[in-house]
A = this chain, B = another copy of it.
Amino acid sequence: MEKKLAVIAVSGGMDSCVTAAIASQNYELAFAHFNYGQRTEKRELKAFNDIADYYNVKHRLIIDFSHFAKIGGSSLTDKNIEVTKADISNKEIPNSYVPFRNANILSACVSWAEVLKAEAIFIGAVYEDASGYPDCRPAFYEAFEKMADLGTKPETKIKIVTPIINLSKAEIVKKGIELNAPLNLTWSCYQNEDEACGVCDSCAFRLRGFQQAGIEDPIPYKVKPNYK
Interface residues of A (CB under 8 A from B): 61, 63-64, 66-68, 70-73, 93, 97-104, 107-108, 110-112, 114-115, 134-135, 137, 139-140, 143-144, 146-148, 150-154
A115-B134 CB under 8 A given contacts A93-B153, A151-B144: no
Q: How far is the CA of A100 from the CA of B115 in the complex (A)?
A: 10
In the assembled complex, the Cα of A134 lies from the Cα of B111 at a distance in Å of 13
Q: How far is the CB of A104 from chain B (nearest CB, A)?
A: 4
Query: In the complex the two chains form, is B154's CB within 8 Å of A134's CB?
Result: yes
CB proximity of A97 to chain B, nearest CB, Å: 8
Contact of A104 with B111 at beta-carbon distance under 8 Å, contacts A134-B154, A147-B140, A151-B135 already known: yes
Contacts of A93 in B (CB 8 A): 153
Copies of this protein chain in the complex: 2
Q: How far is the CA of A179 from the CA of B154 in the complex (A)?
A: 36
Q: Quick one: given A70-B61, A137-B150, are A108 and B115 in contact (CB under 8 Å)?
A: no
Can you list 29 A-B contacts (CB < 8 A)? A61-B67, A61-B70, A61-B71, A63-B70, A64-B66, A68-B111, A71-B108, A73-B114, A93-B153, A98-B111, A99-B114, A100-B107, A100-B114, A100-B152, A103-B111, A103-B148, A104-B104, A104-B107, A104-B111, A107-B107, A134-B152, A135-B152, A137-B150, A137-B151, A140-B147, A140-B150, A143-B151, A144-B147, A144-B151
A139's closest neighbor in chain B, by CB?
B150
In the assembly, what is the distance between CA of A146 and CA of B145, in Å? 12
State the majority secondary structure of interface residues on A: helix
CB distance from A224 to the nearest CB of B (A): 32
